[in-house]
């Protein structure tokens, strides 16, 4: 009896699974909020230097526009410079004709002596009442610190994927998930009370680590307690929870413009998630592979009773489990490491191809959405549209992975996303609506790719290495997220280079996805040996099909005519 058959015995999709997956999906609502939070907590409108007071000719009382005219130089668009001011007020600029640029005075203005903003900045707070960029003056010479804060968060997500992925395979999914909820709640809350930028970065890093622990274990625990036939739907539920979280963030950010209050709003609910997570059952698949048969029996009995099968629960014993899971337990190793991901031929191929897929999906995704202010439209509306497109995109991906297969769906999503991003290179800047529409479509394809790869990765790796494999994928995704802003900087020298790289990467990964094994309607592998044997069976079947066709053709040709 395989574990899939044992799960059917106690109830593979009953009351327990419905409640279990629902409670796992609720925290995912706010995962998008933490990932995209800096679009609002680090937002910045127009700003300029603080203007110091100086007496003018005749001690005239000046209005704001006149004061800005004599104190702040103008940029190419005739707006006050954001990072410079005149060393001395230029009273002669009060001449209206020069101020309006009709007498050629602007040429002389460019040669006037200026200095950096020494007394601070004045910010336009009409859209964002306060952000940490405004509070700590991360503008002008310090503007790169804003991007550094997001990179530090992504580094935390990367480190969390490596650490929590391995710990989950060693100590169990449930324990690490509970800890991740607590860490995210505490670090996210403390972030809201950060006295300076350095403390803010430290706790954002810890929040990023916890983010990985939550995402990895939510996916694995859902996959390992549900049957193969329902996993696409459950994967879509998790994906839609994340998408709904993006829309929720737009509403929260609109209602809570103060960055510290917004940080609290998306962090405090994790204390509630931490408290109810103690109800979760440990993955029985992991318990069996870890040879914890007494604990596995206890959890399976509990699931059977919740699913309304008390007679099955009464028959389950450690001896029953040991006798029926003998084959799986006989092939288990005492311990596994990350090296097992590349030790054998099939595992090596799976790990390499999935690394390409995870990296490119995240790389192109964050290349599109990491700075919504660049679209030049209402930031709340932009996030709303970017979130809404995920609903049809993920629905299409669910049908694809359910009826077409994981492999073709994964490859198609990546290649379509890459082609869409490349197409934007040829759309003129004067057509922002078309460019935005293509970007939204590309983002939808990448969201569908994420939806597929989370499920696909969990099905490709065996139970003994599932979390380690998910951790590797998560690590590659975060590397992609960290590299994306660096590539964006290259646009200052070659404007078409960033979209060219963003588009080429998912196309290459789409080709790599074609070399992965198909997992549709295939039971979850428990061991590395099972992965390797299935690969050999598929290879033999592929090689045997042409021979069978040739033999049939030969027999047909030798059949006597009647």
Residue 147 pLDDT exceeds 50: yes
In the chain, what's the furthest Cα-to-Cα distance?
A: 121
- Strand-pairing partners, residue 258, are 130
Instruction: Determine the Cα–Cα distance for residues 38 and 36; give it in Å rounded to an integer.
Output: 6
Strand 121-123 relative to strand 47-49, pairing: antiparallel
How far apart, in whole angstroms, are the C-alpha atoms of residue 329 and residue 332? 5
DSSP element (H, E) containing 158? helix 144-171
For position 98, what pLDDT does the model report? Answer: 45
Mean pLDDT score across all residues of the chain: 78
> Reduced to 3 DSSP states, what percent helix, strand and coil does the chain have, rounded to the nearest 5?
75, 5, 25
**pTM for this entry:** 0.73
Count how many residues are written for the chain: 562
State how far the Cα of 80 lies from the Cα of 158, in Å rounded to an integer. 41
Q: Which range, of 84-93, 112-121, 352-361, 449-458, averages the lowest pLDDT?
A: 84-93
Q: Is the pLDDT of residue 358 over 50?
A: yes
Confidence of residue 560 (pLDDT cuts 50, 70, 90): low
Per-residue confidence (pLDDT) for residue 265, from 0 to 100: 92
pLDDT for the residue 178: 92
- Domain ranges, ordered by start, for the chain: 1-43+141-331, 47-123, 341-535
The closest of 65, 147, 128 to 99, measured between CA atoms, is: 65
Question: How far apart, in Å, are the Cα atoms of 407 and each of 36, 509, 513?
Answer: 29, 12, 6
Residue 122 three-state SS: strand
Query: DSSP letter at 104?
Result: S
Closest CA to 289 of 252, 230, 257, 332: 332
Task: Report the interhelical angle of 173-191 vs 197-224 (nearest 10°).
Answer: 150
Q: Which runs of E-coded beta strand occur in 187-332?
A: none
Model pLDDT, residue 185:
94
Domain 341-535 CATH class label: mainly alpha
Name the CATH architecture for the domain at 1-43+141-331: Up-down Bundle (1.20)
Do the domains 341-535 and 1-43+141-331 match in fold?
A: yes
pLDDT of the residue at 559 = 54
> Distance between CA atoms of 380 and 378, rounded to whole angstroms?
6
């Amino acid at each position: 009896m395989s574990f899939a058959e044992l799960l059917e015995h106690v109830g593979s999709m009953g009351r327990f699974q419905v409640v279990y997956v629902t409670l796992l999906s609720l925290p995912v609502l706010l995962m998008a909020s933490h990932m995209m939070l800096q679009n609002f907590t680090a937002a910045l409108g127009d700003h300029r230097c603080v203007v110091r007071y100086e007496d003018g000719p005749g001690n005239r009382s000046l209005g704001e526009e006149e004061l800005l005219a004599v104190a702040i130089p103008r940029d190419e668009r005739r707006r006050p410079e954001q990072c410079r001011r005149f060393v001395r007020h230029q009273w002669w600029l009060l001449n209206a004709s020069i101020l309006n640029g009709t007498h050629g005075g602007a040429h002389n203005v460019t040669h006037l002596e200026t200095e950096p903003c020494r007394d601070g900045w004045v910010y336009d707070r009409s859209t964002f009442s306060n952000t940490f960029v405004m509070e700590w003056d991360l503008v002008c010479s310090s503007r790169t610190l804003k991007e550094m804060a997001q990179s530090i968060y992504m580094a935390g997500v990367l480190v969390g994927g490596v650490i929590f992925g391995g710990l989950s395979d060693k100590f169990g999914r449930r324990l690490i998930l509970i800890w991740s909820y607590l860490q995210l709640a505490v670090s996210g809350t403390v972030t809201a009370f950060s006295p300076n930028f350095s403390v803010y970065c430290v706790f954002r890093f810890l929040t990023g680590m916890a983010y990985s622990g939550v995402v990895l274990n939510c996916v694995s625990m859902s996959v390992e307690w549900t049957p193969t036939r329902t996993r696409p739907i459950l994967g879509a539920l998790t994906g839609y929870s994340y998408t709904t979280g993006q829309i929720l963030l737009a509403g929260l950010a609109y209602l809570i413009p103060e960055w510290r209050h917004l940080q609290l709003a998306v962090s405090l609910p994790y204390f509630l998630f931490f408290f109810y997570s103690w109800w979760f059952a440990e993955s029985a698949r992991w318990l069996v592979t870890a040879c914890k048969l007494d604990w596995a029996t206890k959890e399976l009995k509990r699931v059977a009773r919740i699913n309304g099968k008390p007679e099955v629960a009464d028959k389950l014993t450690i001896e029953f489990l040991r006798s029926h899971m003998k084959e799986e337990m006989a092939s288990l190793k005492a311990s596994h490491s990350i090296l097992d991901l590349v030790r054998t031929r099939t595992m090596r191929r799976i790990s390499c191809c999935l690394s390409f897929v995870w990296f490119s999906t995240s790389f192109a995704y964050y290349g599109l959405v990491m700075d919504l202010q660049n679209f030049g439209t209402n930031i709340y509306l932009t996030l709303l549209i970017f979130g809404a497109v995920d609903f049809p995109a993920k629905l299409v991906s669910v049908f694809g992975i359910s009826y077409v297969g994981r492999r073709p769906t994964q490859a198609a999503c990546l290649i379509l996303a890459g082609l869409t991003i490349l197409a934007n290179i040829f759309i003129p800047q004067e057509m922002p609506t078309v460019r935005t529409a293509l970007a939204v479509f590309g983002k939808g394809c990448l969201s569908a790719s994420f939806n597929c790869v989370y499920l696909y990765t969990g099905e490709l790796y065996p139970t003994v290495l599932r979390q380690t494999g998910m951790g590797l994928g998560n690590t590659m995704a975060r590397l992609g997220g960290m590299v994306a802003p660096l590539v964006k900087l290259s646009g200052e020298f070659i404007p078409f280079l960033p979209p060219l790289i963003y588009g080429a990467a998912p196309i290459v990964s789409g080709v790599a996805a074609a070399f992965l094994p198909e997992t549709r309607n295939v039971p979850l592998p428990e061991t590395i040996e099972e992965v390797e044997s299935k690969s050999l069976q598929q290879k033999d079947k592929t090689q045997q099909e042409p021979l069978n066709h040739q033999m049939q053709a030969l027999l047909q040709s030798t059949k006597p005519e009647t």
